Structure 1
């Protein structure tokens, strides 16, 4: 379930975008493929021909992925809420901290290069080899499985050293030991995460999208069941970092590992369905590892920079874990909410625009790339602005509604709500930076995206340390979220400047006018929303789900209605476009 907080903290390493006529499948190896809830949302772009023909097949693949992603996210939130309720803030922080480790290691070993190098390579071999790339795929899977297995053993042996580095000297010995105990049980996820991702890639290349999107649901269901067992047998315990029992650690640690094992096994029937049989073929020399390494160089640079940022933020948050402040668990839950908004809106827009932008870029029609990027920014901004307002105004009731219960107290939920309020300012910059990165991918600009990411990560890490030094420790998670928002904004600004030099005029004047109108409409909605919420019981700090529901219904309704009226009055054309798009999708 766990990975780094983000696969690429300002943009997903989806790799070199194909020309439309090549029919290459783009795969983002993320939460929905690997079952790791700290990752970015799915950004798969269905192929032009990969196993389907015509618009009907592509639309069908998109629908399968969208539905699978939505269901998996809903169940994933239930799972995360139950983890908090079962473990509480302190133990939950240690558990979450341990969960980041396998994702970070996996990203460095395989995640960053799978979609950018290996998937396109599998597609080419499938078209060029007489056997459809069967033997090459077998050899690649064999080598990858052996490499992942060795790496998993080595990392598990080094778990005490890794958790000591990650936790820092300011954490208590009991907390660090608890992270280590969880890590021993959870680190084998590295192997099964890689296995699941590789199988998913093989399936996608052969035009099968359903299983990789739905398999993570098995993972979530298993962990939900484990949380139920944990609550049943350990809810009466006074759980804390210092007194949690070994059996309680075993149930949660092994249960988390079992979820990933079930997910990987759940993909095997789909392999048989597409006619692929996995046989042992050890022949690493025939894989062209030197060429793969050269192709993966920039992406590894990209991924390594992001994992350093993940390491820094987890280390800082570990300093306040178990001390009554929002820490790793709360930060991760808020990040998931931020990515949910991005996944629903931003990814949908990018999925629609990327093939068109790639085709235009391949033919040198850069003015069309610019026009599509401009339109995408306006659409995303108009659609995400009210969501950002809801997060900012209703952060506390949202957190209480989703996460309060069991060992996760009202105080913990309200602290999480404070983090969500700050995350509201990250929603728009995040999706805009993604759109810019996808524009680079359409221009075959992996190197450019990687180079831009270096100063962005430097800004993010600098913001982490600066805010940690300035703010009170109780606001560490708030500061780390603010650091993310700052880096997303920097990413968007740098990317737009570089794109302007590469493809010419971006029509930024029209974008700026649209953004100003959207922000005015959002500000009016936020003002009325704050007024309404503070007139309700609980006044923005509900002490239970009852008050939270009232605030969400009343405040959310006022915010959305006010935003629509204000945006319409300001003639924000994109609002009408988004409403029309939703209507068409619902009708279809």
Structure 2
């Protein structure tokens, strides 16, 4: 895969992710308007987060770790690897289906495990939601497995576009709910029809997301047929990878249980005190915002890099992997460092714009958690890249140890968050995630140097310093412009910017910050900025010509 094709594939994935994430914002904004942000919203958030967490772990862990390297090697088989892939898919489908049945049966236990302080009505509503939402685990697994077959064959776009379908279906369900039942129904007034409509359309959307991938698979000539049996087909290494990756999943889930309990407890305390602050639902919104730049930049790039790193690892071409690691570390930083500064400067008005159904105080609470997470967006990407390198070598043991580090550090921070005032709990949890990912990423890079040798970290560090300087320089005029806009733009009766005023602040602020940051970085001879801007410059020159 050339740099041009890598850039094209990354652009296609990024575009699909942009559409999906924008629809995700519409979905979350509509959900907030229909269900609210109180106790009922928290019960649905906990129930719908259970399969989402399994998806994040599966997509970023066991399925990627096992499937892509094995499919890449299967391409050398006489039949193009079709029988091998069908065997691997059959085994994976069976395992995921069994796991789905198990977790669905455990819905009442899981709801109690992931919440804290709720009364019986809230627990009952969350459990009803969970019974309908937890089958999404199987559907997410099917989506991920089929998507990775496409990725391993160099077809990346469909995998990133498919979530848009799920969001469209869920949004349609929320619109129907709004017209059929109104909005912000108290916990004790939910009927079976309401529960099935809200949770059922969420699950139906995930089913559509998985099934839509059948179309591009058929176009590339892949036909799935169940094939059983594992002996003699080289799946022993896949099983070892799966064992360690499932262990990492277990550790991560234990850590998330603590996070969920801490945040639901904070939300319950805030509800009882009649205060506005970040509970579990607000934490989920902040995480959605945090994941946007990671999905657009790092995830898209590393997903494209992972396939060719797997090929290079199988062929013993270490130098190619080192080059790809350097790309994975450098290319996202050109955008993500200015994005981090933008989050600090423009976080509150940006949340206000993205979620107009929330009050300014609610937007401020969400923004505080989001900013704390965004401070660690780059280390989060480093760790993601490091894990993919080890998975390319079919080594899941080292990522397991790194996950232990992440979980231990984050859990310590969560325990601290549990004893601070509840309106600050979310910020401490977010900072804990930033610290834990940074520690694990630095450790992972140090360990990776022992495997691959030099990772060109000196040039990477130089790039980071230059882009950081450029971002801070760009922040100065941005802060001044934002302050001036606050003096002249309309405000509400409480002295808060209106939604339209917040929109102006965000648009103007970004229009100042990013061009200045890129211009200063270019002046500091950051080559990646020129690569980023070259297509735009060429188009402008062509039009002038």
Per the TM alignment, residue 464 of structure 1 is displaced from its structure 2 partner at its CA by 1.7
The CA distance in 2 between the partners of 1:135 and 1:506, in whole Å, is 37
C-alpha change, 1:266 and 1:373, in structure 2 (3 Å) is closer
Using the TM superposition, name which of 483-492 and 257-266 deviates more: 257-266
Partner of 1:580: 534
What are the within-5 Å matches in structure 2 for residues 152-231 of structure 1? 152-168=100-116, 170-205=117-152, 208-231=155-178
**Which of 417, 424, 429 is the equivalent residue of 1:467?**
417
Q: RMSD value over aligned CA atoms?
A: 3.6
Deviations 1:278-310 (A, max 9, x none): 445555778777654223222222322222222
**Which of 39, 43, 47 is the equivalent residue of 1:94?**
43
Partner of 2:499: 545
Using the TM superposition, name which of 272-281 and 528-537 deviates more: 272-281
Partner of 2:512: 558
Alignment partner of 1:346 is 2:298? yes
C-alpha change, 1:149 and 1:352, in structure 2 (3 Å) is closer
The CA distance in 1 between the partners of 2:505 and 2:307, in whole Å, is 41
Partner of 1:19: none
Alignment partner of 1:389 is 2:341? yes
**Which of 393, 398, 413 is the equivalent residue of 2:350?**
398
Alignment check: 8 A CA contact 1:166 1:315 kept: yes
The CA distance in 1 between the partners of 2:234 and 2:326, in whole Å, is 40
Deviations 1:163-221 (A, max 9, x none): 111113x2333332222121011111122222233333444455554543333222111
Alignment partner of 1:458 is 2:404? no
The CA distance in 2 between the partners of 1:199 and 1:372, in whole Å, is 25
Alignment check: 8 A CA contact 1:305 1:454 kept: yes
**Which of 51, 58, 63 is the equivalent residue of 1:114?**
63
Alignment check: 8 A CA contact 2:279 2:426 kept: yes
Deviations 1:322-365 (A, max 9, x none): 52422222222222222221233334554676677678777878
Q: Counting helix residues as a fraction of each chain, which structure ranks higher?
A: 2
Alignment partner of 1:85 is 2:33? yes
Alignment check: 8 A CA contact 1:108 1:304 kept: no
**Which of 44, 51, 72 is the equivalent residue of 2:20?**
72
Partner of 1:44: none
**Structure 2 residue matching 1:167: 3-state secondary structure:** coil
The CA distance in 1 between the partners of 2:386 and 2:460, in whole Å, is 13
C-alpha change, 1:504 and 1:318, in structure 2 (3 Å) is same
Per the TM alignment, residue 445 of structure 1 is displaced from its structure 2 partner at its CA by 4.8
Alignment check: 8 A CA contact 2:48 2:130 kept: yes
Alignment check: 8 A CA contact 1:106 1:194 kept: yes
TM-score by length of 2: 0.84
The CA distance in 2 between the partners of 1:388 and 1:570, in whole Å, is 19
The CA distance in 2 between the partners of 1:60 and 1:283, in whole Å, is 38
What are the within-5 Å matches in structure 2 for residues 181-330 of structure 1? 181-205=128-152, 208-235=155-182, 237-279=183-225, 281=227, 283=229, 292-321=238-267, 323=271, 324-330=276-282
**Structure 2 residue matching 1:75: 3-state secondary structure:** helix
Per the TM alignment, residue 478 of structure 1 is displaced from its structure 2 partner at its CA by 1.7
What residue ranges of structure 2 are gaps of 5+ in the alignment? none
Per the TM alignment, residue 567 of structure 1 is displaced from its structure 2 partner at its CA by 3.4
The CA distance in 2 between the partners of 1:411 and 1:184, in whole Å, is 33
What residue ranges of structure 1 are gaps of 5+ in the alignment? 1-47, 49-53
Per the TM alignment, residue 490 of structure 1 is displaced from its structure 2 partner at its CA by 0.8
C-alpha change, 1:301 and 1:346, in structure 2 (3 Å) is same
